[in-house]
Amino acid sequence: MVVDLATGLSKEESPTNPKFSDSSITSSHRIYTAIATNGASTFTATDHTGGTQYSNLATTKGFRIKCYDALTTTGFRFNPGDFATYNYFVLVYSDDDKKHHFARITEMITEDLEGDAFEFEPKLGNEIPKDTKFLIVKGHIKTNTNIVAFSGGILNDSIALDENLSCARPLFYFFDSLLDKKNELDHNTKYFQRFIGSTSVTTISPTIHNTFVTASDNGFIIKDYSKYTMNVKMV
């Protein structure tokens, strides 16, 4: 099922990993999307790297980026003062929409100087090569538990994500502690989606919204339609 972003109509029986489309988004846009359980949940996302893509300065483990070299002052030092208060995300392979990996930054690292590296989850394989491009997105405040999935900076390029943006890994980060299952939305639940396509704007306030309802989970239910009806749930 495709949930059309361009309309405000409620969509029924959506899968828990729906696909979104909007023909108004062009190839020059980066797409920012939030899925929330409350329609009043608003927030502002910020391109923390100011619209610039930076490079991994060394070959690193699959959960770490080397973002700054204190000796040569090369790169981007990641040490925001509000890191404990706001969610920060990284888009790895930010220059290639076929390789995008969107993740939440979990820790600022000090190798030589505070913020010259950082770690994130979920990890991306065993290693991230040197010179891999990335950008950082500042998301919503951590006390906002209405937002259950978020995606930011997604490049609408060769695979036309304006027509086929999957609400799934690796393009979305899911707050699994707020969901029944990992990496998917809950069944039989009404969700509110906010999104925007942006070019060079570094502060983004998603205002276009959509509503959809996910399908019921009948995969483990046997229903008895005899005279004495009984519902049995398989576990």
Question: Do 195 and 138 belong together in one domain?
Answer: no
Cβ(185)–Cβ(35) under 8 Å?
yes
pLDDT score at 195: 82
Beta bridge partners of 30: 155, 198
Query: Domain count of the chain?
Result: 2
The reply to whether 134 and 204 lie within a common domain is no
Average pLDDT over residues 100-124: 97
Decide if pLDDT at 144 tops 50. Answer: yes
Tell me the per-residue pLDDT of 173-217, one tens digit each, with 9 for 90 and over.
Answer: 999 999 999 999 999 999 998 888 777 666 777 666 788 999 988
pLDDT value at position 176?
Answer: 97
Pairing of strands 208-214, 10-14: parallel
Q: How confident is the model at residue 40 (pLDDT cuts 50, 70, 90)?
A: confident
Domain that holds residue 14: 1-40+151-235
Residue type for position 11 = K
Q: Which of 88, 115, 143 is the last residue of a domain?
A: 143
